[in-house]
Structure 1
Amino acid sequence: MKLLSTLAVSVALTATLATPVLAQNAAVVNGKAIPKAKLDKMLASAGQVANNPELRDRARDMLITRELINQEAIKRGVINNDGIQEQLEQARLNILVGAVFEDYIQREGVTESELKTAYDQVKGQFSGKEYKVRHILVEKEADAKSLIAKIKAGEKFEDLAKANSKDPGSAVNGGDLNWMNPQALVPEFSKAMVALDKGQMTDKPVKSQFGFHIIKLEDVRESKVPTVAELKPQLIQMMAQDQNWQKAKFEEMLAKLKSKAKVQ
């Protein structure tokens, strides 16, 4: 009895100690732990929701596979192969080159003059007016005409939008599209919208590729033009699309590194 009692205590103690270990690990592969934090980070870097069970299982399986391959490479000794070591070092260097160059561009590689030139090229896109607008989208013209009649008879635009609009993004907010730039909308919608006065609604359905719209204009204002600082990430991304610019910047970075280095 004493032996059975001791064994029971031992099993219970083992279970108690194992629980926090399992809780903080996504898996343990041949004794090698894969931290839960590593799984969470993998999902986050891929832009995935960490609490999605299916995606989490797939990501966990991928980490297990990677660990198995890594263990097998060590077991077989291929990790010590000179050719493999050279390839690993080259891959590491390629990653570092990209990371160093990106950091250089973000920190110091782009001059204020370059940013200003790029800014002048795009700031015109933000000029003009913005329109605070609501709409109801339906499939059939007859349905749109019926809704227009109901609104004119006194029913609330917002309530009818919630109940009838096929645009799920705006329907829940009573058809509210918030502040919109006409350039961001399909031409038929934009043309009808800018022709309205504040507080006015389209008398007839407006047809577009999405269906039939009933449009109500609530307000108009001058567009707010973002500052250079606010647009800096987008401006850098825009410039980086030019391969000649990238090449010139990379050579510039190397020249600065060499000028500061002591090479004997």
Structure 2
Amino acid sequence: MSETPVTVTVNGVEIAEADIQTELQHHPLPDPAQARQAAATALVMRELLLQEARSHGIDTADTDTAIATLIERAVQLPQADAATCRQVFDANPKAFRTPDLYEVAHILFAAAPGIPEDRAAAKSAAETTIADLVTDPSRFAALAAERSACPSKATGGQLGQIGPRQTVPEFEQALPKITPGTVGPEPVETRFGFHVIRVERRIDGRPLAFEQVQDKIAQYLADTVRHTAMRQYLQVLIGKAEISGIELEGAGAGSPLVQ
């Protein structure tokens, strides 16, 4: 028999278990106890903010508007000026450039996820193909046409230029590790199967001018300041409140209200 959940209260106001169960849909964690903790924490934070709004004479009939009004009044968010943005830009030159592009060809050995025998066979076939290419790299297009399960086999495995988020993450993450003009030494596993990848060429990104990224830097700084200020504000409210039935250490940082 499952244990009855401990009642959660905020300054004497009970957070209904039914509300916590409804909130669970917004916290899809694999561990049920962690999911309930996250859901209950979010509702406690919300109740704290609503109680604080009422204490400031803010109408809480529309809860979202009330919380937004309270935060606007109580949390000071200084705007980053051009000089501050320039400091960030000058300190991180490699961060402000266009992404590298890769001209790529591949040979796909398809295997559905969750079928170990098929995955093992696909990996073995990919390893054999890499060994064949070590012996004769010029055979890549022919082997792609012969062995690949991707429609790109019709063009020798050519995928053209690949940029950020144009392929699955495992494939994209492998590209910088492969020396241009060569085949990767190991098969790359994705949900589609195993890939033999050849990087034909890398096109290096180019630096961006400050004016091109100033707004992006300002938004990043504003988001960072807002996150920090909200976390500190929630921690102050937690410190003043009488909360039972839940442990809130570090809750201000983890609340979805400060994301």
Q: Establish whether TM, by shorter chain, passes 0.5.
A: no
State the TM-score, normalized to the length of structure 1.
0.37
Q: RCO higher in 1 or 2 (8 Å CA, sep ≥ 6)?
A: 2
Larger fraction in helix = 1
State the TM-score, normalized to the length of structure 2.
0.38
